[in-house]
């Protein structure tokens, strides 16, 4: 790949002209208000929080979202505000993950720990969802001050991981992670079985002080729950995508 130095226009703003970015990878980058003018983009892949995306003068986000909803109807349930929809959506997510774990157990040894293109392995993905449950559900929806489960996995940018209970040296097996996930899934399902629309609309009882996520304070319980469910759905898609690649 040939990439020359960017031309700096304003502090924090880079401008690239006549650059060859073939096979470039932008990971955990903020491309808000980025403008791609006169570019050639073929066989490109975009995964992330994408909104107000204009391609050749056409705002395409709504088309993409509608197609995703058509392919994955569970998305309509998990972004609902109705407890019954949320319960049904979470049951579907758990069933999808259960099928994928069964698939993993039938694949060649080591598949659960294999990484594709620098992405997390299946086990790492499941460990991340352990951390998502502890942070966005237990801490933000329940107000828990308990340390996070040690085997949970956070992105590198999350600060004070050890102080919050995470063991960065942990190397659990698939079965160990699944056992924790089963307990967490049952906990969330029990909570959803009795939660009301009024409780969902209430401010999230995020404990005072430091802790992840720092930007949850001021959100509603429903907004925090939506993060949990969206993470479950999105990371399942990433995992299945990579298992399809491993299985080819």
Structural domains of the chain, with CATH: 78-246 (1.20.120.450)
160 with 236: CB under 8 angstroms?
Answer: no
* pLDDT at residue 32 greater than cutoff 80: yes
Tokens of 61: 């986000």
Which of 24-33, 58-67, 184-193, 235-244 shows the lowest per-residue confidence on average (mean pLDDT)? 24-33
H/E stretch holding 10 reads: strand 7-10
Tokens of 179: 């056992």
pLDDT band at 12 (very low <50, low <70, confident <90, very high): low
Mean pLDDT of 103-112: 96
Half-sphere exposure of 229 (CA within 13 A, CB side): 28
In angstroms, the CA 124 to CA 151 distance is 10
Q: What per-residue confidence (pLDDT) applies to 4?
A: 38
Predicted TM-score (pTM) of the model is: 0.87
Distance from the first to the final alpha carbon of the chain: 27
* pLDDT at residue 233 greater than cutoff 50: yes
* pLDDT at residue 28 greater than cutoff 90: no
The sign of the CA dihedral 26, 238, 110, 185 is positive
Which candidate, 189, 178, 183, 193, places its Cα nearest to that of 99? 178
List, for residues 182-223, the tens digit of each pLDDT value. 999 999 999 999 999 999 999 999 999 889 999 999 999 999
CA 10, distance to chain mean position in Å, is 32
List, for residues 58-75, the tens digit of each pLDDT value. 999 999 999 999 999 999
Q: Which contacts of 192-199 are long-range, i.e. CB under 8 A and separated by 24 or more positions? A: 192/83, 192/86, 192/87, 192/90, 193/87, 195/83, 196/83, 197/81, 197/82, 197/83
* pLDDT at residue 7 greater than cutoff 60: no
H helix intervals, 61-220: 61-71, 74-78, 83-105, 122-132, 174-194, 197-201
List, for residues 112-146, the tens digit of each pLDDT value. 999 999 999 999 999 999 999 999 999 999 999 99
């Amino acid at each position: 790949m040939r990439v020359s130095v960017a031309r700096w226009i304003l502090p924090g703003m880079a401008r690239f002209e006549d650059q060859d970015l073939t096979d470039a990878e932008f990971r955990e980058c903020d491309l808000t208000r980025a403008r791609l003018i006169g570019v050639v983009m073929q066989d490109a892949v975009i995964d992330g929080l994408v909104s107000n995306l204009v391609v050749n003068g056409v705002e395409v986000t709504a088309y993409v979202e509608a197609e995703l909803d058509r392919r994955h109807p569970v998305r309509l349930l998990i972004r609902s505000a109705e407890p019954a929809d949320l319960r049904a959506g979470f049951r579907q997510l758990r069933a999808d993950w259960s099928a994928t774990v069964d698939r993993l157990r039938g694949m060649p040894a080591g598949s659960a720990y294999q990484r594709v293109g620098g992405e997390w392995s299946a086990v790492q993905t499941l460990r991340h969802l352990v951390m998502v449950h502890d942070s966005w559900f237990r801490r933000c929806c329940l107000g828990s001050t308990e340390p996070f489960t040690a085997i949970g996995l956070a992105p590198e940018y999350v600060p004070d991981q050890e102080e919050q209970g995470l063991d960065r040296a942990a190397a659990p097996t698939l079965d160990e992670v699944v056992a924790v996930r089963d307990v967490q899934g049952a906990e969330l399902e029990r909570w959803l079985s009795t939660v009301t629309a009024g409780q969902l609309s209430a401010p999230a009882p995020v404990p005072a002080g430091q802790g992840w996520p720092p930007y949850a304070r001021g959100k509603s319980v429903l907004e925090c729950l939506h993060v949990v469910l969206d993470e479950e759905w999105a990371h399942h898609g990433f995992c299945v995508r990579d298992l399809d690649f491993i299985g080819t």
